[in-house]
A and B are shown apart, each in its own frame.
Chain A
């Protein structure tokens, strides 16, 4: 008991400095991350004139809620939202049908050429998409998949990343349960559906969310593989707000559109805060 008190007394001066530093760091972080958001909101509620003043003001005089209506309409928000939802979900569904069986086979089954196929399938982890984008663009041009849903979905229902994590998790699942199921004359579909998936639920959820965030926010591939608005997703919707030809930058509308753009992801984040963070950690170290 005495020792602990002694220690407490000894630590106080350093402790105080540490606490002050901590407070400063936290304050700076909050400013650096909350202020831009706040400023985005305040800009989205200003008029065109208020935005183009120098020095800029912090808060609009009158809240211009109509900017959101304007942005919604100009951005054609619903159209892109629809496409984003469809493409993200179909990619996830596709991955469940393509990546899960593949990972299952590579993790649990013995067959000739397993190592070879393992490497082949995970080769994509090493290849940065930024190199092959031109070639994929040319391939899709030749088969006329530019500006189509399948063009944006099919290449991504194969994901080396997803397969990798699924394999890691599937490997840890006990074999005896699977053997028992086979003896019980379960179909392969039942094995995958009723045994493997439930046991690997955290990984599945992680993979699904990862794919969802990636696909939802994807600007790169959507801009490369589409040339018109038919199947474009939300990230490209902002382009509709950017000035065309002689028009000026309408920051108030752009910020309103911007907020609407990441609102879905933000909501998801609020609801599933812990799982999302965990998913990135899981994807990271382990």
Chain B
């Protein structure tokens, strides 16, 4: 770095150090691009969305009037919105209740370092890095009531075939299945890493204490995994509340809004029905939910980071 460079290059470098470098050294310059982009593409849109939720906005009829809480009143009386909100809560609840214990179960069984175990874990993780487009196309095909393999298997086993995405009774279930299938690998990975962070000596002392498997599991493993659980629960909730791609690609809200979820509803209302104000009211509700969970997640993550 301190070598003597001949002539022009040396002069350029001197000029650089004298004029350009101090600018770069200034922290405000370093953070400027990020801050500008954050304001333009994150802060301003959020403020716009919140603002629009209190207005009636229409670009064709040139309407931009303040309506206060009107949009919120409308959506809470709108049967479609209420149904969509209910669907989202059910979707979240079922996913959390099934996906996380399932992930723990699978993680425990796969927690060995053999070829088969590693291979299985890799295979299970694959859907997580694949685009929703491929997943949706695949599952629409598997779930086709006439030509899909799922119904063929069901009938072969002696069960009645299901209508999957065609029926309003099973469309939400279909979505849940696909969603859990895709996320299992990621959840298993997180639990595995959580398991591996548990110091082995605790297990050793448990064995010395002649503790049986159930006691070990519930008195040691589960408590030690609690940060992992918290993380998984918050991430799952944020994920399920944000689900859009799957709905857009597979059911478009499903027969009679039976598989319509909050984010897709916002898209439908704002983008397809041109009712921006109403859509944003729903958006603010979503923001409150996800925002709260995100903040909780974030604070807890920070705490743990400090803890360690």
Contact = CB atoms under 8 A, between A and B. Distances in A.
B305 interface: yes
Nearest to B117: A26
A121 B30 CA distance: 13
Contacts of A126: 290-291, 294-295, 298
B129 A213 contact: yes
17 contacts: A26-B116, A30-B123, A34-B123, A51-B147, A98-B33, A102-B33, A111-B28, A135-B52, A154-B37, A187-B17, A219-B245, A238-B133, A261-B133, A262-B131, A265-B129, A284-B190, A286-B308
Q: Please give me the 8 A-B residue pairs with the lowest Cβ-Cβ distance, nearest first.
A: A158-B37, A135-B45, A102-B34, A132-B45, A217-B131, A105-B30, A188-B24, A101-B30
Contacts, number: 258
Contacts of B162: none
B303 interface: no
Contacts of B123: 29-30, 33-34
A43 B141 contact: yes
Interface residues of A, number: 96
A284 B249 contact: no
A21 interface: yes
A94 to B, nearest CB: 9
Main secondary structure of the interface of B (DSSP, over half): helix
Nearest to A10: B210
Contact of B45 (A40, A117, A136, A265): A136
A194 B131 CA distance: 35
Nearest to B125: A277
B129 A217 contact: yes
Contacts of B270: 134
B203 interface: no
B44 A139 contact: yes
B298 A25 contact: no
Contacts of A14: 213
B124 A29 contact: yes
Contacts of B248: 223
A128 B242 contact: yes
B249 A188 contact: no
A52 interface: yes
Contact of B34 (A128, A158, A216, A235): A158
B74 interface: no
B149 A160 contact: no
A128 B291 CA distance: 8
Interface in B77-105: 105
Interface stretch (A61-69, A85-93, A199-207, A251-259): A251-259
Interface stretch (B63-71, B164-172, B252-260, B280-288): B280-288
Interface string A98-132: 11011011100101001001001101111111111
A121 B286 contact: no
Contact of A286 (B52, B126, B291, B305): B305
Given A126-B295, A130-B244, A189-B24, A33 B124 contact: yes
A163 B245 CA distance: 26
B49 A132 contact: yes
B33 A254 contact: no
A168 B33 CA distance: 20
B286 A131 contact: yes
B287 A128 contact: yes
Interface string A124-159: 111111111111111100000000000000110110
A190 B2 CA distance: 12
B105 A160 contact: no
Given A102-B33, A134-B283, A262 B130 contact: yes
A117 B147 contact: no
A124 B42 contact: yes
B4 to A, nearest CB: 14
B25 interface: yes
B220 interface: no
B186 to A, nearest CB: 6
Interface string B198-233: 000000000100000100000000000001100100
Contact of B110 (A26, A39, A154, A262): A26
B266 interface: yes
Contact of A134 (B25, B44, B245, B276): B276
A42 B213 CA distance: 43
A30 B155 CA distance: 22
B24 A127 contact: no
A56 interface: yes
Contact of B189 (A104, A121, A281): A281
Contacts of B284: 131
Given A121-B38, A128-B290, A30 B129 contact: no
